[in-house]
Amino acid sequence: MAEVFLFHHAQGLTPGVTAFADALRGEGHTVHTPDLYDGRTFDTLDAGLAYAEKTGFDELLDRGVRAVADSPAELVYIGFSLGVLPAQKLAQTRAGARGAVFVHSCVPTSAFGAWPSRLPVRVHAMEADRLFTDEGDADAARALADEAPDAELHLYPGDQHLFADNSLPSYDAEAAALLLDRTLAFLRSLDTGHRDV
């Protein structure tokens, strides 16, 4: 079983993010969900992004790093959208990471240095999500898939950004179920050493 840190998206630690974490816990994994917003949630993505900008992305990254400070090295980092920033930074810079899952977003590996050669990573997004395709995330994800020896990019039909959060209007049940299945398979593969399907 894996110990996971799941970082929320720009609308905060919503019930939908908690539900995804609970689904992982239901399969026996230990899942932490740090609240980078100190209890605040937002009804719209724009409002959440405005709060993130006001707080400062560097501060949010620092909060993510502090959240894992007292945890073991052997962690899996999962990020939803904005949460990919701390998840990716920790995966690339904190020794001992077992794996990483980036949902809705991906940043160039150069933001945090080279990708660790033995670190498996999965990126998930909707193929027509303009926040993913038009802001450089898709290019970063493809580059990561080419660079990392054990990397996969999974694209889902549709154009929603936060499709995996069942508390938001953007939720897509079919895509979210497939994302969950793939994430659970990925976590199992870390224990068995066999490639997930």
- The kind and range of the H/E element at 99 are strand 99-103
Model confidence at 194, pLDDT cuts 50, 70, 90, reads low
Structure confidence at residue 197 (pLDDT): 47
Say if CB 57 and CB 86 are below 8 A apart: no
Where do the structural domains in the chain lie, given as residue ranges? 3-192
Mean pLDDT of the chain: 96
pLDDT (tens digit, 9 = 90+) per residue, 81-115?
Answer: 999 999 999 999 999 999 999 999 999 999 999 99
Label residue 45 by pLDDT band (50, 70, 90): very high
Say how far apart CA 8 and CA 14 lie, in whole Å. Answer: 8
pLDDT the model gives residue 192? 72
Write down the pTM of the prediction: 0.95
Indicate whether 39 pLDDT > 90. yes
Which token pair is 142? 């493809």
CATH topology (fold) of 3-192: Rossmann fold (3.40.50)
Proportion of the chain above pLDDT 70, given as a percent: 97
How many angstroms from the chain centroid is the CA of residue 24? Answer: 13
Of 142, 185, 138, nearest to 161 by C-alpha is: 138
Of 73, 129, 140, 131, residue with least CA distance to 121:
140
Say if CB 82 and CB 10 are below 8 A apart. yes
Could you tell me if 10 and 80 are in contact, meaning their C-beta atoms sit under 8 angstroms apart?
Answer: no
Mean pLDDT, residues 153-171: 98
